[in-house]
Amino acid sequence: MDRKLVGVGTTALVADDDEFFRIALSDVLTARLGFSHIVLACSFDEAVQKMSECRDIDVALFDLNMPGRNNWQTLRSMRERFPEIRVAVVSGSRDRIDILTALSIGAQGYISKGLGVSELSRAIRSICRGDVYLPPFFPELAISESIAVPAPPVKDPLPIRREMAVSDMTPRQYEVLKLLVEGKSNKAMARSLGLSGGTIKFHLSAIFRVLGASNRVEAATAGARLLDRECL
């Protein structure tokens, strides 16, 4: 059996409209990680109500595709309203934009429903420590360069104006943006493009300015949408 969590509260919220998955995840939280109380919800509306009623929740795990309110708007509102609760998305989606958007609005992890029990336990343990968890299939996002524990978000995921973003970037910056969306580190970008690390940082600063991004996650989120619209 996995070692229990130490120094973390004992109450978790599991919000998922799949009853079987709610039960399975609850078993992992109690039997393997030592949580003593699991609050269950099958919709975003019910999750909001439960979080308001139970102020002892330490970790909240949300599926993306539940009925009820707009999923991203609800998650963003929860991070603002309950900043003390560690929030993570648990989803069957492997879409890169979903992962980046979850991080950009303040989720402290994105857990794939395809994970085995051991990796799932490791993911939740990591989030409870205050770390940011990304699924194994997700390209490295140079976390050490870009992500601290997310603060509660104060704005929507970045809207982008495609024509303005494209026209304000040089061809080289566009290449750097594509590598950023792929999750490449500065060192990998420099190696791929034959540029110095300083030049990569210069291009990234320009890209952040064009996209209105304050960090790599926001820039990668906006960039993924931009490139998707460009069908590149």
pLDDT of residue 30: 92
Mean pLDDT per 10-residue run, the chain (232 residues)?
53 94 93 92 90 90 81 81 90 86 84 90 88 77 44 44 62 90 88 90 87 82 75 47
pLDDT of residue 191: 92
Asked whether residue 154 is assigned to any structural domain, the reply reads: no
Look at residue 119 and give its three-state secondary structure. helix
Task: For residue 208, give the CATH number of its domain.
Answer: 1.10.10.10
- Asked whether residue 140 falls in the same domain as residue 176, the answer is no
Q: Which of 107, 229, 93 is nearest to 157 (CA)?
A: 107
- Asked whether residue 67 falls in the same domain as residue 108, the answer is yes
- Asked whether residue 17 falls in the same domain as residue 127, the answer is yes
pLDDT of residue 230: 60
Single out the residue in 93, 117, 146 at which a domain terminates: 146
* Global confidence as pTM: 0.67
pLDDT of residue 100: 83
- Asked whether residue 50 falls in the same domain as residue 103, the answer is yes
Contacts of 199 (CB under 8 A, 6+ apart): 190
